[in-house]
Amino acid sequence: MLDIMKQAQKLQSRMADMQAELEAAEVEGRAGGGLVTVAMSGKGEVKKVTIDPSLMKAEEREILEDLIVAAAADAKTKAESIAAEKMKSVTGGLPLPPGLGL
C-alpha cells in the first residue's frame, strides 16, 4: 500500500510539472496562407492574434473573421496534440480514467 501511495505522489508531481510545461509552451496556428496567425499556450489560452494589413479593409471583414476562427482552431489542434504527447509521457502510455484528463 505504501508503494502505491509513493507511485501516486510521483505521478501527481509529474502531472504538475507537465501542467507547467503546457502553460509555458506556445503553438501558432495559421490561416489564409499565413495572413492571420494565432499564438496559443499549450493549455489553449489565446496569447496573440496577428493580422496582415492587407486584410484590414471593410469589405474583407467576413473573410478576416473566418480566418481568425480558422487560425485559432489550428492553434488549438496543435496545443491539444502537445498536451496529449506530454500526458502520454507522464502516464507511460497508459490511458487515464474518464474525467482525469487535462
CB atoms within 10 A of CB 91: 15
- Cell readout for 85 is 504527447
pLDDT class for 102, splitting at 50, 70, 90?
very low
Select from 3.40.50.720, 3.40.50.300, 3.40.50.11930, 3.30.1310.10 the CATH code of 2-89.
3.30.1310.10
How is the chain split into domains, by residue range? 2-89
- pTM, rounded to two decimals: 0.59
pLDDT class for 33, splitting at 50, 70, 90?
very high
Is residue 10 predicted with pLDDT exceeding 70?
yes
Q: pLDDT tens, 37-88?
A: 988 888 788 888 888 988 888 888 888 888 888 988 888 888 888 888 877 8
Report the Cα–Cα distance between both ends of the chain, in Å, rounded: 27
Output 60 or 90, whichever has higher pLDDT: 60
Rounded-to-integer distance, Cα 50 and Cα 55, Å: 11
